[in-house]
Structure 1
Amino acid sequence: MLLAIDAGNTNVVFALFEGRKIIGRWRIATDARRTGDEYAVWLMQLLAIRGVEPRQVTQVIISTVVPRALHNIGVLCRNYFGIEPLVAGQGAADYAIDIDVDEPRSLGADRAVNAVAAHAKYPGDLILVDFGTATTFDAIDFNGAYKGGIIAPGINLSLDALVGNTAMLPRIAIDVPQTTSVIGRNTEDQMLIGVFWGYVAMMEGLIARMRAEIGRPAKVVATGGLAVLFDEAVDFFDAVDPDLTIEGLAILAERAAS
């Protein structure tokens, strides 16, 4: 079995694969100070619930945008699974794609892994929208080359900034507004309309500009935690693929093993 670990700025996702099928998925809040032993106490219990023994895990691959977390996750892999993990973008787990930007080494591992997975799954030019702590928009050409993109504040960061810098606005949950009107009749509705439909308008505008600059038809693929929520309200996603990053790690691990 393959254990794929994606350490993002907000959560660390652990996914267990049998072949290309995900048979278990767990997440824990990202904390660079969390030790390998602490990860093990948590993860081993979850594996046991699924009836999986550590010895059944034969390969581990890690992707991280939190460099300080890599050491402790590596300790988890070596001490509790007896495996030296692959690291996305390094050695046998090299991305093997053209990263055609000014500073290729600055590209986040999650975005590179998304590019690998998206090119393997969807033909042609692509625009990837990943809803995470930040929302990223990435352009992948028909050859699988990463051509650049956009980084915008995530919708929850935007909401946190709004609430944290005002004295009287309440904290609200992100959801599709229940009213069809964009003129809110109370404070909570006005906030939700502003955050949600404002974000939709930003996405529409940026995707349209990216498509115009690419100059060829481009599919829009959405991933990340809020992709499904936005898909309920918009029609500009050609595909919603919540497991894109994890599947990209499985592709890299499979290539490394061949």
Structure 2
Amino acid sequence: MKLVVDIGNSNIVFGIFENKWKHVWRFETKKDKSALYYSLKLNELLWESGIAPENIEFKVVSSVVPKLKDVFVEVLDKLNDKPLVVLDRNIYDKLDIDIKNPLEMGTDLVANAIAAHKLYSGDVIIVDFGTALTFTVMDESGNISGVNIAPGLKTALNALVGNTAQLPKVPLEFPPQPIGTNTIEAIQNGILIGYIGLVKYMIKAIKTYLGSDYKTVVTGGMSSVIAPNIGEIDFIEPNLTLYGLLFAGQLVIV
């Protein structure tokens, strides 16, 4: 049994893997909370699921929130005495992918690349619908060619609502028709249909530039909503980042 922790700007995701993902827990990221707070949270989850900490074989953590990296190292060190892997540039030389700008690339994108390289053979474009919408391009040898970044759907929605006086915050779900008949539908169509167009054109531009038949893999919280409407997607894997952390742990702990 393995425990992986993906600390993002919006959410912290805990995953328990034993032949499959037995548990995936997602919580809002709270940057001001202490190691004690998160330790109690994690131990409560494990206890409620009947998981003894001593049965966890190894632990892996990745954080794009610098303040929480050391917090979770403390939490996971105290959980049990089994190996702990921190996914950062100190272990990149042990991975089976090539990262050209390790100081600039987020560890969540590195985890995605590790997973895509192992799960899907060939050239790949990884689209991650997170706080940011990212496009990571990697060839079949595991060389990361580059990354494109746009605001995520919820980030764009929050910016729109936060910078206007009369527009309400709305659920990100498709209205019954592609033309809004009220303010809520107008915002939903603008964000969702607009982002479908963004993703489709970005994938097309990348494939045209590289001149190769790249597979497209989609992950992230909004992937299940958007991906079926794009038509350019080969694989949808909501737990891609967690798989990458799992594989990183397996590569480092030998």
Q: TM-score, normalised by structure 1?
A: 0.93
Contact 1:93 1:253 in 2 (8 A): no
CA distance in 1, matches of 2:168, 2:105: 36
- Over aligned residue pairs, what C-alpha RMSD do you find? 1.6
2:75 aligns to what?
76
1:237 aligns to what?
233
CA apart distance, 1:30: 1.3
Alignment pair present for 1:159 and 2:157? yes
2:15 aligns to what?
15
Please give the per-residue CA displacement for 1:151-205, whole angstroms capped at 9, x wherever unaligned: 10001111111111111111111012321xx332222211111111111111111
CA distance in 2, matches of 1:148, 1:92: 16
CA distance in 2, matches of 1:189, 1:77: 44
Please give the per-residue CA displacement for 1:77-117, whole angstroms capped at 9, x wherever unaligned: 122323452111333884332123xx332110011111111
CA distance in 2, matches of 1:34, 1:62: 17
Q: Secondary structure at the match of 2:111?
A: helix
Aligned ranges 1:1-258 → 2 under 5 Å = 1-18=1-18, 20-83=19-82, 85-89=84-88, 90-91=90-91, 94-100=94-100, 103-179=101-177, 182-258=178-254
User: Stretches of 4+ moved more than 6 A in 1?
Assistant: none
Contact 1:92 1:256 in 2 (8 A): no
Unaligned runs of at least 5 residues, structure 2: none
CA distance in 2, matches of 1:173, 1:114: 27
CA apart distance, 1:75: 0.9
CA distance in 2, matches of 1:13, 1:67: 16
Q: Secondary structure at the match of 1:99?
A: coil
- Would you say how many aligned residue pairs link Structure 1 and Structure 2? 253
CA apart distance, 1:44: 1.0
Contact 1:130 1:227 in 2 (8 A): yes
Q: TM-score, normalised by structure 2?
A: 0.94
CA apart distance, 1:42: 1.2
